[in-house]
A = this chain, B = another copy of it.
Amino acid sequence: MSRMDAVLARVDAGMAETEKRLDDWLRIASISAQPDHAADCRKAAAFCRDELAELGFTARVADTPGLPVTIAHHPGPGGNAPHLLYYGHYDVQPPDPLELWNSPPFEPTVVEGKLGRRVVARGAVDDKGQMAMWLAAFRAWHAETGTLPCKVSVLIEGEEEVGSAHLADFIRAHRDELKADIVVISDTNMWDIDTPAIAVSLRGMLNLQIDLKASSRDLHSGLYGGSALNPINALATVLGQVRDGDGRIQIPGFYDGIRETPAAQLEQWKSLGFSEQRFLGDLGLSVPTGETGRTALERIWARPTADINGIWGGYQGVGAKTVIAAEAGAKISFRLVPGQDPAKILTAFKQFVKERVPADAKLEFTVFGQSPGIEIATDSRFMREAIAALSDEYGKQAAMIGSGGSIPVVETFQRELGLDSLLMGFGLEDDQVHSPNEKFELRCLHQGARSHARLLGRLGA
C-alpha cells in the first residue's frame, strides 16, 4: 500500500489514543478571560509542548506580557519541502452559565448524537479538538516515516478568546523564527458533516466594554426620580440607538470602505442551498434579524454587526427594588468586514456614545480587541492542494465559504509575516461554540486528522 495509505491507516489505528490525548487536554480549564485560571493556561501550554516534543519537535513555552505561547519546530525531510506554520489556541471561553451544561464543562464526556459519537466539553471544537486533528496527523507521519513530509512550525497562543492582545508583538519579535510559506489553521467550520469547506473571508472584530457612572451612591427612585441621572436609562438610550429599525448601524462612517459582495460570490453562496429557516429553527427562532435586503449568508459572512454581549446595572435579585443605581455597564462587539477600519470605528463609536449620554455621565471604555475583516487569496498552490486533499477524503468539492467569526491572527500573519492562511476547519454549525454543551463530532475529528495527513503528504517531498 502507498505511503499515504499507510499513514492514513496509522491515523485510523491511533484514533483511541488521539481521543484520550484530547480528553486530557480538555480537562485543563484554560479560561483566558479569568485571571484565577492563569495557572491552568500555563498547564495547557505545557501540555502541547510535551506532545510536540514527543514527535521530534524542538518545543518550548515562551512568555508574553500576558499568557504564554507554545512554539515548536520540526526540520522535516530537508530539501525543498515547504515550511508550514500551524496556528491554534489553547485558551477557551468561560463556561457559564454552568447550570445549562449536561456534564461538567471540563470533564470531557462522550455521548451518542444524531451524527454518531461526540465529545462534550468547553474547548472540544474551539480550538483544542481542531488542533488535535493536525497533532494526530503529525503523529501518524512521525510513526510511519520517523519524520514529517514538510518543515513544520507550530504556534499555539493562549489569548485568542480575549483579543490576542500580545500575539502581534510576539510574532514581530520572532519574525525570523516564524517565517514560513503558509499558515495552516483549523478553527472554522465545514459546510456540513459531508461537505468540507475552506474559509476565504473572515469578519474582524471591535470588542469593548462601556462603564457608565452617575451618582456617588445608589438612590431611592421615589426621592430622586425625576432629578437624578439614571445610568441604566442612559445606557439603554444610547445602546438602543446603535441600530435602526432595518438593522442598519447608525454610527457615522461605520460602513465606510465596505465593498459590496461580488454577484458571483453571492451566486456561489446561493448554490449552497442554505436554509436560514432551519438555521434559526434549530434555535427556536423563526424571524431573521440584521440588515433587511441582504441574503442570510451575506448578513452572516459579509456584513458587519453590532451585538451587546452583556449588560448589567442596579438590582438583579428576586422581586422589586426601587433604586436608581450609581452605575451600569455593557460589553459590545462589532463584527467587521474587509474595508472597515476598526480604529476609526472605535473613535466614532466613543463619540456616538458621548453625544448621547447626559453631561453628568462619567464614561469609561475598555477595549478588548480590534481587528479588520480579511480576504484570502484563492489561487495559491497551497489552496489548490488543500482543496484536492479534502476532495480525496470526502469525495466532493470543498465549499469556499466566508466565516462570520473572527480570527484576528490571520490578519496579523499577513501584516507581520506576509503570510496567507489556509483555513481548513472541521467544526459544525451546531457545535455550540462559546455555549453550554460545546461539542466536537468524533467523525469530524477523525476525517479532519486524515485530511491534515493528506495535506502534509500532498505538499511534502
Q: Could you list which residues of chain A lie within 8 angstroms of chain B, going by C-beta atoms?
A: 32-35, 93-94, 96-97, 100, 161-163, 189, 203, 205, 207, 209, 214-230, 232-233, 235-243, 276, 279-280, 283-291, 296, 299-300, 303, 305-325, 328, 330-331, 333, 335, 358-360, 368-369, 403-406, 429, 432-437
Identical copies in the complex:
2
Complex Cα gap A217–B276 (Å): 17
Q: Check B311 against A232 for contact (C-beta < 8 Å).
A: yes
Known interface pairs A309-B315, A317-B34; A283-B226 also in contact (CB < 8 Å): no
Known interface pairs A215-B285, A369-B320, A405-B222; A308-B227 also in contact (CB < 8 Å): no
Tell me, rounded to whole Å, the shortest Cβ–Cβ distance linking A143 to chain B.
Answer: 35
Known interface pairs A240-B236, A309-B314, A316-B310; A321-B94 also in contact (CB < 8 Å): yes
Measured between beta carbons, the chain B residues less than 8 angstroms from A322 are 205, 207, 307, 309, 333, 406, 434
Q: Check A287 against B359 for contact (C-beta < 8 Å).
A: yes
Measured between beta carbons, the chain B residues less than 8 angstroms from A323 are 93, 309-310, 434-435
Known interface pairs A243-B237, A314-B308, A358-B289; A300-B434 also in contact (CB < 8 Å): no
Measured between beta carbons, the chain B residues less than 8 angstroms from A34 are 317-319
Measured between beta carbons, the chain B residues less than 8 angstroms from A328 are 311
Complex Cα gap A322–B406 (Å): 10
Known interface pairs A227-B299, A314-B308; A319-B33 also in contact (CB < 8 Å): yes
Measured between beta carbons, the chain B residues less than 8 angstroms from A314 are 308-311, 331
Q: Check B217 against A283 for contact (C-beta < 8 Å).
A: yes
Q: Check B100 against A217 for contact (C-beta < 8 Å).
A: yes
Known interface pairs A300-B224, A335-B226, A435-B217; A368-B319 also in contact (CB < 8 Å): yes
Q: Check B215 against A405 for contact (C-beta < 8 Å).
A: no
Complex Cα gap A8–B240 (Å): 58
Residue A296 contacts which of B227, B232, B236, B289 (CB distance < 8 angstroms)? B227
Counting chain B CB atoms within 10 Å of each CB, the highest count among A224, A405, A437 belongs to: A224
Complex Cα gap A288–B360 (Å): 9
Complex Cα gap A262–B34 (Å): 58
Complex Cα gap A220–B126 (Å): 11
Known interface pairs A220-B434, A230-B308, A284-B216; A317-B239 also in contact (CB < 8 Å): no
Residue A222 contacts which of B230, B238, B286, B335 (CB distance < 8 angstroms)? B335
Q: Check B307 against A324 for contact (C-beta < 8 Å).
A: yes
Counting chain B CB atoms within 10 Å of each CB, the highest count among A219, A324, A434 belongs to: A434
Q: Check A223 against B308 for contact (C-beta < 8 Å).
A: no
Known interface pairs A33-B321, A319-B34; A236-B290 also in contact (CB < 8 Å): no
Measured between beta carbons, the chain B residues less than 8 angstroms from A237 are 239-240, 243
A-B contact pairs, 5 of them (CB 8 A): A34-B319, A163-B320, A226-B303, A236-B236, A286-B360
Residue A232 contacts which of B32, B308, B313 (CB distance < 8 angstroms)? B308
Residue A360 contacts which of B228, B287, B317 (CB distance < 8 angstroms)? B287
Q: Which chain B residue has the least Cβ–Cβ distance from A209?
A: B320
Tell me, rounded to whole Å, the shortest Cβ–Cβ distance linking A9 to chain B.
Answer: 35
Complex Cα gap A333–B225 (Å): 10
Complex Cα gap A284–B97 (Å): 36
Measured between beta carbons, the chain B residues less than 8 angstroms from A207 are 320, 322
Measured between beta carbons, the chain B residues less than 8 angstroms from A435 are 217-220, 323
Measured between beta carbons, the chain B residues less than 8 angstroms from A310 are 232, 313-317, 321, 323, 325
Measured between beta carbons, the chain B residues less than 8 angstroms from A285 are 214-215, 228-229, 360
Q: Which chain B residue has the least Cβ–Cβ distance from A159?
A: B319
Tell me, rounded to whole Å, the shortest Cβ–Cβ distance linking A210 to chain B.
Answer: 12
Tell me, rounded to whole Å, the shortest Cβ–Cβ distance linking A393 to chain B.
Answer: 24
Residue A240 contacts which of B238, B309, B316 (CB distance < 8 angstroms)? B238
Known interface pairs A94-B315, A311-B312; A218-B434 also in contact (CB < 8 Å): yes
